[in-house]
Structure 1
Amino acid sequence: MTRNHRLLGLTAAAATTALLLSGCVSNEPPEEENDSDSMSADEGAAGGTANDEPGETITIGFSAPAADHGWMGAITRAALDEAEGYEDVELRQAEATNDVNMQISHIEQFINEGVDAIVLLPFDGDALTEIAIEAMEAGIPVVNVDREFSSPFAARATILGDNYGMGVSAGTYICEQLGGQSDAVVAEIQGIANLPLTQDRSEGFADALSDCGLSVSTQVSADFTIQGGETATSNLLQAEPEIDAIWNHDDDQGVGVLAAIDNAGRDEFFMVGGAGSLDVMEEIQSGDSVLQATVIYPSTQAADGIKMARLIAQSKNMSDLASAGVPRTTQLFAPVVTADNVDQYLEIGFRS
């Protein structure tokens, strides 16, 4: 992939994010411009933009996996906070679970209750596809978050992070730091190696490095846990006496990664994280860590799902689009956070 093609792809993803995160406004043109009509969309519900004004009360069912790591906990908190901001939204939260059968039964209950919309981050997208189709066939729009269903008929809208884009962003940053050092040793610490999301991240990383003449010298996998990150990194550091840069796919496991680095007394390299935890952002702010950057994988996806479900259930349109309705698929941008811009991302950071 050439640099120009990659930048075009990232620009398109950024534009999609901007459309989603800007306030939602009506497609009805104002009769005359006044202070209320020209109010910034960024003011959100408190600012009283047209789509954020209270409408018909709707009930949204929300289901997500257990909050067994920081990112997933942040996903649920953000969704609950978003729903709380709308007086016309009644949120019914299913018990968080990693049991596929239990999550299916929760969606069945939402269908039986006749909720107006469902926001679903499935523990397993394939396993939840059939029940999501049942909800759709019952006339209940489903907003699929993060882990995709295996059928396009299972969701009215899908909102995703950009795993491939994470790898591209991390690789591009490393290329910028290492310049023309074609012999640089670049290490990669994956999450769970056989997951499609991990493979997408690695593919994007390899493509970006290739664009500047670099490649991954050594690759280890952890399991998205602190202990797994520490073990994998200890093995990596023992195998590689000299490293120039490391990309760690996940900031939750990054706590263990940093512990292993500290224990080994190694600091000849710089490191890039992944996801955007507050812990990592504080490391970046400190200026005295090998951790120089992280790549955002938004923990606000389910909150965006709540906003989209509300728009769909109330037959409203997304702001800044000439077309009617809410897009079927929205993929969020994966920006790089460094000491230069960390302040603007602290608000969406999560604790590992």
Structure 2
Amino acid sequence: MAVFVMPFYFYYISPHPREIKRFGVTYMTMNNPFYEVINNELLKEIESRGDQLIVRDPLLNFTKQKEQIEQFIAMKVDGIFVNPVDSKALEPTLKKAKEAGIPVIAIDVPLSDSTSLVSTIVSDNYDAGVQCARHIMTHYDSGTIALLKHSAVQSASDRIRGFKDTIASDSRFRIVNEAECLGQLEIAMPQTQQMLQETPDVTIIMALNDPSALGAKAALKTLDRDDVRIYGVDGTPEMKTLIGQDPSISGTVAQSPYVIGQTAIRSMYDYLERKPVAKDIVIEVEMIDEKTISRFSKGGWQ
């Protein structure tokens, strides 16, 4: 009689299974494709490790962003990424995260007080403004300039400051009007219309980012103005497509949401693994105009 012996299988179960890490991120607004790209880079790396990302959008409302960070703290997340609505007012809330042992990394926008941050990862925003001003100074004989700003956010104010500091050295150019637009196309459009009605001699518009530059472009169309040249900052696919095709768009300074996102998530994991992390990481930017556009993909970000 045959005897069948059932095989025994031994499985090793680790006494210390890896715990899933949870991260929170709050952007000033998701109404900007730049932040969508950064978020995708965070999500891609986090999910590849089996971890989770909780995404919040305060809709440019500081109070909502403050509440979102406090919710992350209450959830005891493993790390927080913040793209500040207000560069000055958020420190007391971030201090609570630090006291709770939760690392915080600022992305794209620095804070005035970085005491509670592990790291800040931004483009060279001051140089973006400098590059726009230098392009104007070398491509035009003279001009009257209007500015589209977002003063509550340091990255945007750094761009305008770099622009102002540089253009002030050339008496051929004058800034004659300024308006706040929160970096939003739908706000930049009426603000540009109003500035051009107040100062119709404007020939150049310096916008803090590409969405506001596109809002300025829409305003020019409604006013039937073809004598104004526009500069932006971002290097969005929409803006790059217009360079060399639309005479009103003179240029944009390219920053890379891919690099910002990849650097941010790498820095967070490095910190959690007790590896050294730089306190301030500044990523170079580059001017895109009709001469250099061929080096860039028009269909995507750089």
Higher relative contact order (CA 8 A, sep 6+): 1
Q: Is 2:162 the counterpart of 1:200?
A: no
Partner of 1:266: 225
The root-mean-square deviation of aligned C-alpha atoms, in Å, is 3.1
Larger deviation, residues 104-113 vs 200-209: 104-113
Partner of 1:226: 185
**Alpha-carbon distance in structure 2 between the residues aligned to 1:105 and 1:231:** 31
Identity in percent? 20
**Alpha-carbon distance in structure 1 between the residues aligned to 2:62 and 2:201:** 44
Q: Residue 128 and residue 60 in structure 1: after superposition, are their counterparts in 2 closer, same or farther (change >3 A)?
A: farther
- Structure 1 residue 62: Cα displacement: 2.5
Residue 312 of structure 1: which of 259, 267, 271 is its match?
A: 271
Larger Rg: 2
Partner of 2:288: 337
Q: Residue 238 and residue 310 in structure 1: after superposition, are their counterparts in 2 closer, same or farther (change >3 A)?
A: same
**Alpha-carbon distance in structure 2 between the residues aligned to 1:236 and 1:148:** 29
Report matched runs for 1:245-264 at 5 Å.
Answer: 245-264=204-223
**Alpha-carbon distance in structure 2 between the residues aligned to 1:270 and 1:102:** 37
Partner of 1:327: 278
Aligned residue identity for 1:140: I
Aligned residue identity for 1:81: E
Residue deviations 1:147-175, cap 9 Å, x none? Answer: 43454331111112333222211101111
Q: Residue 309 and residue 122 in structure 1: after superposition, are their counterparts in 2 closer, same or farther (change >3 A)?
A: same
**Alpha-carbon distance in structure 1 between the residues aligned to 2:96 and 2:153:** 27
Report matched runs for 1:93-242 at 5 Å.
Answer: 93-98=54-59, 99-178=61-140, 181=141, 184-192=142-150, 196-223=154-181, 224-240=183-199, 242=201
Q: Residue 229 and residue 95 in structure 1: after superposition, are their counterparts in 2 closer, same or farther (change >3 A)?
A: closer
**Alpha-carbon distance in structure 2 between the residues aligned to 1:254 and 1:308:** 32
**Alpha-carbon distance in structure 2 between the residues aligned to 1:109 and 1:152:** 21
Q: How many residues align?
A: 280
Q: Residue 130 and residue 347 in structure 1: after superposition, are their counterparts in 2 closer, same or farther (change >3 A)?
A: farther
Aligned residue identity for 2:296: Q
Greater share of residues in helix: 1
Q: Residue 340 and residue 310 in structure 1: after superposition, are their counterparts in 2 closer, same or farther (change >3 A)?
A: farther
TM-score when normalising by structure 2: 0.77
Is the 8 Å Cα contact of residues 60 and 119 (structure 1) preserved in structure 2?
no
- Structure 1 residue 115: Cα displacement: 3.5
Partner of 2:34: 74
Gaps of 5+ in 1: 1-55, 317-324
Is the 8 Å Cα contact of residues 76 and 102 (structure 2) preserved in structure 1?
yes
Q: Residue 88 and residue 305 in structure 1: after superposition, are their counterparts in 2 closer, same or farther (change >3 A)?
A: same
Is the 8 Å Cα contact of residues 231 and 249 (structure 2) preserved in structure 1?
yes
Aligned residue identity for 1:340: K
